[in-house]
Amino acid sequence: MSAIPQITRETDSQTQTRRYRTIIFNNDHTPMDVVVMIIMRATHCDAEEAYIEMWEAHTYGQANVHFASLEECETAANLIASVGIKTEVKPEWTD
């Protein structure tokens, strides 16, 4: 019988600091191409990933777009919010 791997929650294994997530919420006024471009700019992801995250927010009402330190997630959230998209930063894991 093999051992079950242990999962470390709320911790980045390299820095041992709590990780956070940036969440975006769908709205009816920000054009989809603007959402894709601002996600790319704020999170440094490629167009394909940004499109998938935009589609997820559009379809399900919200999407996680970035996982990092609190400071980095807040920076991304503020940049995304600057074009009128509602954002939120929460811990990566919640109990």
Query: What pLDDT shows up at residue 7?
Result: 46
CB-based contact 7:74 (threshold 8 Å) = no
Per-domain residue ranges for the chain? 20-91
Which pTM was predicted?
0.80
* Residue whose token pair is 């769908």: 26
Hey, which CATH number is domain 20-91, 3.30.1390.10, 3.40.640.10, 3.30.830.10, 1.20.1440.230? 3.30.1390.10
Residue 83, Cβ density class (10 Å: 0-12 exposed, 13-18 middle, ≥19 buried): middle
Question: From first to last of its 95 residues, what are the pLDDT tens digits of the chain?
Answer: 556 555 445 444 544 578 999 999 999 999 999 999 999 999 999 999 999 999 999 999 999 999 999 999 999 999 999 999 999 999 998 75
Ordered DSSP codes for 4-44:
PPPPPPS--TTT----EEEEEE--SSS-HHHHHHHHHHHH-
